[in-house]
A and B are shown apart, each in its own frame.
Chain A
């Protein structure tokens, strides 16, 4: 898989089509994000399979936003999986990235990773490497839905009570690009002290993920308390899909329900 990715990136760098490629590299004995600017450096390029497939995925789209804000005239390549591509579509729609300045290099995820993520579409539209595999159903949501309302609420309160309020779910999120965050607005959610307000802190974030969350699962992986946030956001996304027929990242430039609700003609 990696040879095809390297070949594509080498061609992009050599032709001058991109100024740099944001990917992953094995360095200092670990895997982390790296900007490749020289085709000769591509030996270190990896796709983030450390011990298991995709267990060293990073928020490359977030780093891409940092580069784009500082170098808006330059074009960058970026390593994307299915989730990252959904992220790019939403970030283009919200004008956080310019599609003319981004060249995605896509890889399809193996079945094992797709199942672990319960990913609805574990591949980008045009992968340069990897085989497209089937999307997987969200069994974690079904398990929660099987409980009655009181049982479900108890379960979530139990999960939220583990929170150490590190804000890691927000900090790692590639879709959290706001300059001002509601989670730091004292009129809505108490800041500067622990424990967090339960369930207000988590439900506020869940509401803000509506129309945004592209189901990459990086919040789950960043949570030191192992709170299954992804399940919560998957459920919120299901409700929005049922009510508004919208799922973030499925379609480029599709309007989020928040935009629809704020149409002046409808609010009078």
Chain B
């Protein structure tokens, strides 16, 4: 049995292994769950802001952090624990390993973000006017940022703390330039140009479209950008991981 069935089996087995092993690791819980929650508390609570206006941004931030927190940990952790070499000796392709990591990150992102959304609607009168678009935003967002997480794990390191620090260096600036704290419609000049460069901007915009029906870009553009960056992240992660395959073993 070769080809697609083996590829898919590899993704499923690696994803299951990742879910079992990495969802409860302290760095994932810290940077994937607690950190966005604290960010929310720090920026939104007690500041007399319209939480409904900022809800799509908050949900996007949650999804961004949760989805991108599993990926950076897996490869460095496996290299440090010396399990990566055995993984490479199994009949799975490098692509199965990468996609298995992405899917595990995406499921974590969807799971936690859905919980946050469900908890939020208990306290906020959030109405999603386009549930289909809302679901699409969830899927595209988790895939894009889970792929970003795997890309961030690509440097040749067997030190999870180093990779987590590196990944936070990339992730933190993105939340400040993506229309989460300042709506995209109120941005101008260099801030707006930077916002256009951030993939998170398009997820915030897509959530805005789904929740309130107002968005800067057409949903097709937002979705297209998220899909495109997902592909770019996967291709670059693949390129770097293949080059660094045995570094740190």
Q: Do A and B bind each other?
A: no
Interface residues of A (CB under 8 A from B): none
